[in-house]
Chain A
Amino acid sequence: MRLKSILLLLILSSPLIGFGQTLSGTIVDAQGNPLPSASVIVDGTDGQFAGMDGSFSLSLSKGSHQVSFSFIGYLTQKRSVDIQNTSIEWSIVLEEDAVMIEDVVVVGYGVQRKKEVTGSIVQVSAKQITGIQTPSFEAALQGQAAGVQVSQSSGVAGSASLIRVRGVASVSAAGDPLYVIDGIPITQEYFLRGNSGAFNNNPLASINPNDIESVEILKDAAATGIYGSRGANGVILITTKRGRKGTSFEFSTRAGFGIPATRPNMMDTESYLTLRQEAWENDGGTGYVWLPNLTSSSDDPLTRKEAYLQALQTNTNWVDETTGLGTKGNVNFGVRHGGYRYNLYAGVSQDNNGSYLLGNSYNRSSARVNFDWTPKPWAKVILSSSLSRGQNNRIDAAWSGGLGDAMSNALPYYPVRYLEDQVDANGTVTNEAGEYFLWFDEWGTTKNPVAVRELKQWKNTEDRSINNAQLVLTPLKDLHVKLSGGFDYMHLKEDLFNPGALSITSDLGSANRNANYVLNWNYSATADYLLELDDTQTLNFLVGSEFQRTDNYGYGLFYGQVDGPIFENDSLSDDAANVNRTVNLPSQHSFLSYFGRVNYALKDRYFVQATARVDGSSRFGRESRYGFFPSLSAGWVISDESWFSSRHVNFLKFRTSIGLTGNAALPDYARFGTYSPANNGNTYAGDSILYPIQPENPFLRWETSRTVDASVEMGLWQDRVTLELAGYHKYSTDVLMNVSTPASTGFTNFWDNVGTILNRGVEFSIKSRNLTGDLQWNTDLNIARNYNELINIGNYTPDAVSGGTNDSRVIVGRPVGSFYLVEHSHVDPETGLPVYLDLDGNETYEYSNDIRKYVGDGLPDVIGGMNNTFRYKNWDLSGLATFSIGAKIFDSSAKRQLGVVTGWNMREEKLDRWRQPGDEATYPRLTLDETTYSLPSGFPWWNTSLFIYDASYIRLRNVTLGFTVPLPPGSTMSACRIALNATNLLTITNFPGLDPEVVRDFENAQDRNMSPNVTYLTPPQERAITLSISTTF
């Protein structure tokens, strides 16, 4: 492609002579969007670029001419024209090239013709990313690439999706792919604020999707090997928009609303009290049952009765009180300009994304400037800079409150506010009518989700700037030297004010500020050289080195006994009774890397690539600091062989690769044995103390994956249908685990290289233009099967590594993060008691942790997506369906909602309970006493396989109806499109809970790897309807 461009430029620079009449017109895509700078070549020699509105005009000599029209990503169209005495005007519509074998794709530290690529790379266009309303751009990758599992984030605004490329290959080290924006590996820290409020920081939320030109997903070792140090879990390359010839402006806006995709079916007061009464009577209770926060079991019968009857007077729907309509608005403006030796792209954006969770929104303001300057033919300067501020107006979610409360401890007989004055036995008014009704949950936390939402002030502010400067020198023909420096700045600040009104014991509140700064520097130097051995052979060398350093530091402030938010009025801090300041000194890490790549091409159909990368990480000690990550791959374009002849197959390519990649995403100082700081401020009896914090492991080393990959790519009927079939085998060794060690050692955790994990699978994707002509119908389908198995964990038991509170464990022979629970068999029809299965499969009434076993896992067997697009004249309709088959979901909140009757509200499924001998019911006899189910006292967490469900689903992820507005000739506007978009309109699943696709809040990276598909009061995804207008002028 690059050669063609150069040729075109040379052609354009030559004098054009001997003209007759004019051939003019516009070049547009199937939707009518102009294709600016599309190339028009006449008779293989003359030509020009189209204008920003897609228009062209050529003066041609009389006679016949062959005119070809081409544009990146579209099939070249050749037409004959006979020029006589009249001018001719054409409207050229280029069709998208499904394969784009002549197109270039971004690879590590460069670009390659897709035909030459020997690794597994999937390209996702800007349109695929911006065409859908998502909380964060990465969610739009779902269903777009085979083998890339994207689990959508919850309904919390700005929350993060979970992406796994070809399965889970890590346990405790971060298993997310590496994100690289314009060559800079960016900060991707999800736990800067831990799991505060059941929300993990999303480092990708501040990235403006409208700045993205394309996304490449690198999947195998050949593709990721050049990023060897962190390529084990895939690499996602993000390329932002740049300027181009001429001047054009882009303006788009979007508005809409979001509602919960599903709603919890919690019981009303009458149902809850009825079932609670039944449980009480089953347990031998007489009279009216005692009610949480109104009475206790030791109260006399009359008191209990009065409370019961009083409770019946209130029926609060707490789901209604915590959810509603979230409004969305988005405005983008961008300019592309190309002048003499420079190009400029500048864009600004404002995105306001209100979630359906009342009080919750994520608002992002962002700006980007990308500037390219070629001061000399041998020198080019490339600058990229973005600045964004994301403000998350926080609410409590899941276990922390809000809708989570509505699904748990907010009982329907609790009023939002007192309806009348409350007086005690002495006649003293304790609470006035209109005051919030506050209660304690079982952990002693003051609750009332409405009061908390309305009184608590809480916001996260993230300032982010990602910058990159590159100098590209061409000192010799075919030698390019690139020096690059990048800086990624992140400042995350969380401000919280808990007013005294939310405390039952204090009139004054408390204020917190926690701030984190993450500074990420990246420097690289590369040189590539193209060596043409002869007419049929080329060698392309790339060598380079790279250094990356990240500093992470911050501070925390706590002000007790204040009556206002400190972050809005600093003077309030003067009156604070308790002030606690903590400073987090920098946590630092760095990578130092040397790498090289050699590409050999023979006859433009045989391709071999070898890469090697040596990575050093500060996270490892001197003995094991450096890892060596080589890869070797080859491609063969069979269809270019002279002997190959097929009427149907126009393109056939085979490629294969083998290589090593690594992972070092563990805490910066895990290898050190450490003690508390000298002046840690901790004392006993006034004397300072010194104490060990973590044990030393100087032998920590790289987690390494060896991947073998092979695929066949095929184009049929002139690329009317294209398909790819790929298979891979990924064997990860020295898997880093933060194992729980016997507490008697003096420590409870220890980082070690312990595990071995296998991932293997097949992927298939097909793109088909089913109908062409006026009515067009395209189908894109991808489907992937992955098998995951934990091969070895040394002499540790499954409990050595757990997924936080999620009952997922490491079980040899099972997938990472398998659910490890007591197996539930059935409810005994005679007794109504639950029957469990012991390790031998025998039925037992005895619940015991000793009979926990593998009962399922959250990893799907098959994932995929299918996108159908219909176009008719100016109208287009597309629908993306995504599916996941074979995964299980652990509904961890159901064990309380559908288990022992406690101070949690119940779901309506619970009505299917045992009531009398002979009943065959899903749920056992109701009880207030956990020991009825043989649970240990004080442990109402009924962890059984009863709440493991099939999470298979097919979901209509996205439907878009678009209309390309026809523009009159001479219009200042070159394109205008109106689209109506809907997400999550329909989900087909057997899962009885809220949402079969879940990304809950996680405690840490290990939890994120170990606990896919565990839901715990997790807000369901949203259903969003948006209307958008996008214009170019």
Chain B
Amino acid sequence: MKMKHLLLLAGIAMAAISCDRLLEFEPGDVILAEDAIQDTDDLQRLLVSTYDVLANLYGGRVQIINELRGPNFGAPDNSLDFTAVYNRETTFFTGINGGAYTDFYYAIYRSNVLIENFQFVTDLTATDELRLEAEARFVRAICHWGAVKIYARPYGYTPDNSHPGVPLRLESSQDPLPRAPVGAVYTAIVEDLNFALQNLPATNGVYATQHAARAYLAQIHFLMGDYALAASYASSIIESGDFTLDEDLDRFETDMINTETVFGIVSQPNDFRSSWFRDNLRSDNTSSPQLAFSEDFAFFMSLSGAGDARSQWYTSGTRALCNRFNNKEYFNIPLAHLTLMHLIRAEALAETGLELSTAIADINAIRDRAYGPGNFILPESATAEEIRDAARDEFRKETAGEGHWTDQLLRRGTMGEDILIRDASWDCPGMSLQFSNSENTVDGFVLNEEGGCL
């Protein structure tokens, strides 16, 4: 009888609730990873998300970081993060460098996932697969390049480029990776861009095209000192006839893609991708924007006099504020553009000593626009050195605020020039920003040396 009681009580209790299904819940407002990529559309949307990250990076943030490391910008108004970059004293507690680093690898991870998921999508055509992989590798390449330029010593810092670069992520993995040598990173970048060049479409809306790959290859080979290749890729774009110099000197246009733009960021009224420029540089937003040109840059610009139309890009006074983005709430941002190609080709040819007339024409095309036709033109008799110097002058002016100049100084430093950036040697440790704190959470990752540039 007592045993019956025990059985009865056990039965009552256990029977009341018994169902493992009661423990099955899945998040309702997101998609499970295994369900996320079902068809080509999903792949396309994942691809667009890599551009989305690019837009968050290059909507002014990376450009500002690069300018702050260099000589073009003066001391920030009071932003602690900007000041840390400006003084080249970032630590892994500084938010701006950690945030940008994280974003570079968001895009890289997504690119890798995209490539690895082709096998699970049944409606994917061979054409689409090639195009998607080409775009993914294009994004992966320019993000690796963006990261290695900011967080590592420049290409050429060591003869064999064995100095530590950044983690090279060519497949998705949650395993920690050490820093790959800079040479290996650049090799992978070039491979990705070559693949992209072979497989990207000639036209692709606002997204990457063959010309975009060429434009980046031109820039990258230029920094690597492969001047012939750089000039060759730049020529391909210049000679294509698909792009024309914008006569009004305004490449940052609202609601339209500028005629110079080979590849760029699209900013729309609902997303304000260009807000880093707008919020920190516009002289008409506030009397004291965070950022302004340096005295050194203002002096440099003043040398060419008021006849230079680019003098309108900054204000006079002790703190030269930036006018370049005034009266614009949002605007598209060219990352690779025709002016850049002209100037890269000019300097690259000057470095090689070949086709100097082409180089002179490149410079004069820029000067014609800046000073008016025929003014300040570089004579046909200009030497390679004069062409190079002229190209550098125009490069610094034309790309003011676009974040390219610091890389050029570092390149020249690796080539043996005595480059000082705000009284510090080009290779002072703090020029490489510190990594994100999250890289320091696993034993073995080598962080950058901090400071040493003041």
- Whether A936 and B48, one on each chain, are in contact in the complex, defined by CB atoms closer than 8 angstroms, is no
Interface positions of B from 281 to 328, Cβ below 8 Å from A? 288, 318-319
Residue interface bits A929-956, CB-to-B below 8 A is 1, else 0: 0010000111111000000000000000
- Whether B25 and A668, one on each chain, are in contact in the complex, defined by CB atoms closer than 8 angstroms, is yes
Binds B, one of A209-217, A394-402, A670-678, A864-872: A670-678
Judge whether A638 is part of the interface by a CB distance below 8 angstroms. Answer: no
Judge whether B20 is part of the interface by a CB distance below 8 angstroms. Answer: yes
- Whether B27 and A674, one on each chain, are in contact in the complex, defined by CB atoms closer than 8 angstroms, is yes
B9 — nearest CB in chain A belongs to which residue?
A: A527
Considering the chains assembled together, what is the distance between the CA atoms of A525 and B29 in angstroms? 33
Interface positions of A from 681 to 697, Cβ below 8 Å from B? 682-693, 695-696
- Whether A691 and B439, one on each chain, are in contact in the complex, defined by CB atoms closer than 8 angstroms, is no
Considering the chains assembled together, what is the distance between the CA atoms of A688 and B13 in angstroms? 51
Judge whether A669 is part of the interface by a CB distance below 8 angstroms. Answer: yes
Judge whether A418 is part of the interface by a CB distance below 8 angstroms. Answer: no
Contact of A939 among B19, B22, B91 (CB under 8 A): B91
B270 — nearest CB in chain A belongs to which residue?
A: A683
- Whether B108 and A525, one on each chain, are in contact in the complex, defined by CB atoms closer than 8 angstroms, is no
Binds B, one of A151-159, A716-724, A760-768, A791-799: A791-799
Judge whether A588 is part of the interface by a CB distance below 8 angstroms. Answer: yes
Q: Which residues of B contact A672 (CB under 8 A)?
A: 26-27, 32-33
Contact of A684 among B23, B33, B55, B112 (CB under 8 A): B55
Q: Which residues of B contact A526 (CB under 8 A)?
A: 13
- Whether B13 and A479, one on each chain, are in contact in the complex, defined by CB atoms closer than 8 angstroms, is no
Given contacts A543-B9, A585-B28, A739-B441, contact A745 B105 (CB under 8 A): yes
Binds B, one of A166-174, A324-332, A589-597: A589-597
Considering the chains assembled together, what is the distance between the CA atoms of A396 and B167 in angstroms? 43
Q: How far is the CB of B120 from chain A (nearest CB, A)?
A: 14
Judge whether B198 is part of the interface by a CB distance below 8 angstroms. Answer: no
- Whether A690 and B42, one on each chain, are in contact in the complex, defined by CB atoms closer than 8 angstroms, is yes
Q: How far is the CB of B81 from chain A (nearest CB, A)?
A: 6
Judge whether B6 is part of the interface by a CB distance below 8 angstroms. Answer: yes
Contact of A693 among B9, B23, B30, B268 (CB under 8 A): B30
Judge whether B36 is part of the interface by a CB distance below 8 angstroms. Answer: yes
Residue interface bits A325-361, CB-to-B below 8 A is 1, else 0: 0000000000000000000000000000000000000
B76 — nearest CB in chain A belongs to which residue?
A: A938
From B9, B37, B106, B174, residue with most partner A Cβ within 10 Å: B9
Q: Which residues of A contact B55 (CB under 8 A)?
A: 684
Contact of A525 among B12, B98, B270, B439 (CB under 8 A): B12
Judge whether A529 is part of the interface by a CB distance below 8 angstroms. Answer: yes
- Whether B94 and A938, one on each chain, are in contact in the complex, defined by CB atoms closer than 8 angstroms, is yes
Q: How far is the CB of B283 from chain A (nearest CB, A)?
A: 16
Q: How far is the CB of A806 from chain B (nearest CB, A)?
A: 13
Judge whether A966 is part of the interface by a CB distance below 8 angstroms. Answer: no
- Whether A938 and B51, one on each chain, are in contact in the complex, defined by CB atoms closer than 8 angstroms, is no
Given contacts A616-B20, A797-B440, contact A742 B176 (CB under 8 A): yes
Interface positions of A from 510 to 530, Cβ below 8 Å from B? 523-529
B55 — nearest CB in chain A belongs to which residue?
A: A684
Interface positions of B from 423 to 454, Cβ below 8 Å from A? 436-443, 445, 450-451, 454
From A592, A617, A685, residue with most partner B Cβ within 10 Å: A685
Q: Which residues of B contact A616 (CB under 8 A)?
A: 20, 23
Judge whether B93 is part of the interface by a CB distance below 8 angstroms. Answer: yes
B29 — nearest CB in chain A belongs to which residue?
A: A585
Given contacts A527-B9, A587-B27, A673-B34, contact A938 B2 (CB under 8 A): no
Judge whether A747 is part of the interface by a CB distance below 8 angstroms. Answer: yes
Q: How far is the CB of B151 from chain A (nearest CB, A)?
A: 10
- Whether B80 and A685, one on each chain, are in contact in the complex, defined by CB atoms closer than 8 angstroms, is no
B92 — nearest CB in chain A belongs to which residue?
A: A849
A807 — nearest CB in chain B belongs to which residue?
A: B93
Judge whether A196 is part of the interface by a CB distance below 8 angstroms. Answer: no
- Whether A545 and B268, one on each chain, are in contact in the complex, defined by CB atoms closer than 8 angstroms, is no
- Whether A936 and B90, one on each chain, are in contact in the complex, defined by CB atoms closer than 8 angstroms, is yes
- Whether B266 and A618, one on each chain, are in contact in the complex, defined by CB atoms closer than 8 angstroms, is no
Count contacts on B: residues with CB < 8 A to the other chain.
Answer: 95
Residue interface bits B119-153, CB-to-A below 8 A is 1, else 0: 00000000000000000000000000000000000
Q: Which residues of A contact B441 (CB under 8 A)?
A: 739-742, 796-797, 799-800
Contact of B173 among A587, A674, A745, A796 (CB under 8 A): A745
Considering the chains assembled together, what is the distance between the CA atoms of A690 and B89 in angstroms? 36
- Whether A849 and B105, one on each chain, are in contact in the complex, defined by CB atoms closer than 8 angstroms, is no
Interface band, chain A: 35 or more
Judge whether B169 is part of the interface by a CB distance below 8 angstroms. Answer: yes
Contact of B110 among A531, A594, A691 (CB under 8 A): A691
Considering the chains assembled together, what is the distance between the CA atoms of A800 and B36 in angstroms? 29
Q: Which residues of A contact B81 (CB under 8 A)?
A: 938
Given contacts A584-B29, A675-B33, A745-B176, contact A545 B13 (CB under 8 A): yes
A739 — nearest CB in chain B belongs to which residue?
A: B441
Considering the chains assembled together, what is the distance between the CA atoms of A795 and B36 in angstroms? 32
Considering the chains assembled together, what is the distance between the CA atoms of A748 and B271 in angstroms? 24
Considering the chains assembled together, what is the distance between the CA atoms of A689 and B54 in angstroms? 13
Q: How far is the CB of B266 from chain A (nearest CB, A)?
A: 4
Q: Which residues of A contact B102 (CB under 8 A)?
A: 743, 748
Considering the chains assembled together, what is the distance between the CA atoms of A910 and B10 in angstroms? 70
Q: How far is the CB of B428 from chain A (nearest CB, A)?
A: 13
Q: Which residues of A contact B175 (CB under 8 A)?
A: 745
Contact of A797 among B32, B90, B443, B451 (CB under 8 A): B443
Judge whether B86 is part of the interface by a CB distance below 8 angstroms. Answer: yes
Judge whether A918 is part of the interface by a CB distance below 8 angstroms. Answer: no
Q: Which residues of A contact B91 (CB under 8 A)?
A: 849, 936, 939
Q: Which residues of B contact A251 (CB under 8 A)?
A: none
- Whether A592 and B48, one on each chain, are in contact in the complex, defined by CB atoms closer than 8 angstroms, is no
Judge whether B14 is part of the interface by a CB distance below 8 angstroms. Answer: yes
- Whether B442 and A800, one on each chain, are in contact in the complex, defined by CB atoms closer than 8 angstroms, is yes
Given contacts A592-B20, A689-B49, contact A746 B30 (CB under 8 A): no
Judge whether B256 is part of the interface by a CB distance below 8 angstroms. Answer: no
Q: Which residues of A contact B24 (CB under 8 A)?
A: 618
Contact of A676 among B30, B82, B94 (CB under 8 A): B30
Given contacts A526-B13, A592-B17, A744-B105, contact A799 B440 (CB under 8 A): yes
Judge whether B109 is part of the interface by a CB distance below 8 angstroms. Answer: yes
- Whether B442 and A742, one on each chain, are in contact in the complex, defined by CB atoms closer than 8 angstroms, is yes
Interface positions of A from 125 to 144, Cβ below 8 Å from B? none
- Whether B2 and A481, one on each chain, are in contact in the complex, defined by CB atoms closer than 8 angstroms, is no
- Whether B266 and A625, one on each chain, are in contact in the complex, defined by CB atoms closer than 8 angstroms, is no
- Whether B23 and A590, one on each chain, are in contact in the complex, defined by CB atoms closer than 8 angstroms, is yes
- Whether A685 and B84, one on each chain, are in contact in the complex, defined by CB atoms closer than 8 angstroms, is no
Considering the chains assembled together, what is the distance between the CA atoms of A678 and B29 in angstroms? 9
Judge whether A645 is part of the interface by a CB distance below 8 angstroms. Answer: no
- Whether A747 and B174, one on each chain, are in contact in the complex, defined by CB atoms closer than 8 angstroms, is yes
Judge whether A180 is part of the interface by a CB distance below 8 angstroms. Answer: no
Q: Which residues of A contact B8 (CB under 8 A)?
A: 479, 527
Considering the chains assembled together, what is the distance between the CA atoms of A586 and B271 in angstroms? 28
Q: How far is the CB of A378 from chain B (nearest CB, A)?
A: 14
- Whether B169 and A547, one on each chain, are in contact in the complex, defined by CB atoms closer than 8 angstroms, is no
Question: Other CB < 8 Å A-B pairs besides A585-B28, A675-B36, A746-B113, 9 of them?
Answer: A592-B20, A682-B52, A740-B438, A741-B176, A744-B105, A744-B439, A936-B90, A937-B454, A938-B85
Residues on B facing A (Cβ under 8 Å): 2, 5-6, 8-10, 12-14, 16-20, 22-34, 36-37, 42, 44-46, 48-49, 51-52, 55, 78-87, 89-94, 98, 101-102, 105-106, 108-110, 112-113, 166-167, 169, 172-177, 205-207, 266, 268, 270-271, 288, 318-319, 436-443, 445, 450-451, 454
Provide 11 A-B residue pairs closer than 8 Å at the C-beta atoms, listed in order of the A residue. Answer: A527-B13, A543-B10, A546-B17, A676-B30, A690-B31, A690-B48, A745-B175, A796-B441, A931-B454, A936-B90, A937-B83
Residues on A facing B (Cβ under 8 Å): 296, 298, 442, 476, 479, 481, 483, 523-529, 531, 541, 543-547, 549, 584-592, 594, 616-618, 625, 668-669, 672-678, 682-693, 695-696, 739-748, 750, 795-797, 799-800, 848-849, 931, 936-941
Q: Lowest 9 CB-CB distances: which A-B pairs, in order?
A: A746-B109, A673-B33, A938-B83, A937-B87, A525-B16, A938-B84, A527-B9, A675-B36, A690-B45
